[in-house]
Amino acid sequence: MKFPVLIVNLKNYRESSGSNADRFFEYARSLSSINNVMVAPPILDTLRYVGEYSDILIAQSVDVPGYGSYTGHVPLVRLVDEGLRYSLINHSEYKLPHETIKKILDEASQYDFEFVVCVDSIDEMKRLLEMDVYPAAYAIEPPELIGSGRSVSKYKPQVVSDAVDLGKEYGVPVLCGAGVSTGEDVTAASKLGAVGVLVASAIAKSPEPLKVMEDMARNL
Ligand code: G3P
């Protein structure tokens, strides 16, 4: 994964679901000369972007390692076989047991596939690191700031810098997210040592998403 990175999580907002997701990939591509911008579309739309956008496509979640009797799940190996290379996992809106995360990341180590593991606290990050979970990056997102419009980089800077310090101890880069709304919020995150940000509502729900994405990409 290339850092710094701006990850646009489209969640399952109507404004960014189905064909409404297309423009975010086009915008991300158009900003590639400025910075690495990746897009996490709704899981039901993911496979439509493999191929043309594989380099900037990141799945929202994976919840089992391989194929099998897993009704309703998203298997890692299926994504690998389809040509995906990146996924988020353990987002606050879809937490997984830590043993499951460990199993999935262990499985991924034999493929060209990388994870951003989301954590809601330093404590959670510590517990995962102690289980030898070493992803491409951790993303720290205090749940109470998600969707709030109040950026973690301004309202909880200590959480970000503590996560960055902990990541350094283990050689794992750290992103941050929750409430990030402007280029200024992104600059604040970079100053705290984060190698990128995760953003959802400020982009997915904006009447002018390209403007917001460009401002953020320029401030990474
Ligand atoms: O994955 C990013 C997300 O949880 C942050 O959401 O709307 O606060 O940018 P938002």
| CATH code, 41 | 3.20.20.70
141 in active site: yes
Give the structural domain span for 158: 5-211
Within-domain flag for 216: no
Instruction: Tokens 């320029």: give the residue.
Output: 218
Within-domain flag for 160: yes
Within-domain flag for 178: yes
Catalytic residue among 15, 26, 73, 91: 91
Q: How many structural domains are present in the chain?
A: 1
User: Is any atom of ligand 1 closer than 6 Å to the C-beta of 61?
Assistant: no
Q: What is the mean pLDDT of each run of 10 residues along the chain (220 residues)?
A: 98 98 98 97 98 97 98 98 98 98 97 97 98 98 97 97 98 98 98 98 98 97
Burial of 90-109, coded b for 16+ CB within 10 Å and e otherwise, reads bbbeebbebebbebbbebbe
Sequence-distant (≥ 6) Cβ neighbours of residue 165 within 8 angstroms = 193
49/25 Cα distance (integer angstroms)? 8
| Cα 170 to Cα 4, 129, 137, 164, distances in angstroms | 19, 8, 11, 10
User: Which two three-digit tokens encode residue 198?
Assistant: 């995760």
Within-domain flag for 218: no
Q: Which atom of ligand 1 lies nearest, measured to the CA of 149?
A: 8
User: Is any atom of ligand 1 closer than 6 Å to the C-beta of 179?
Assistant: yes
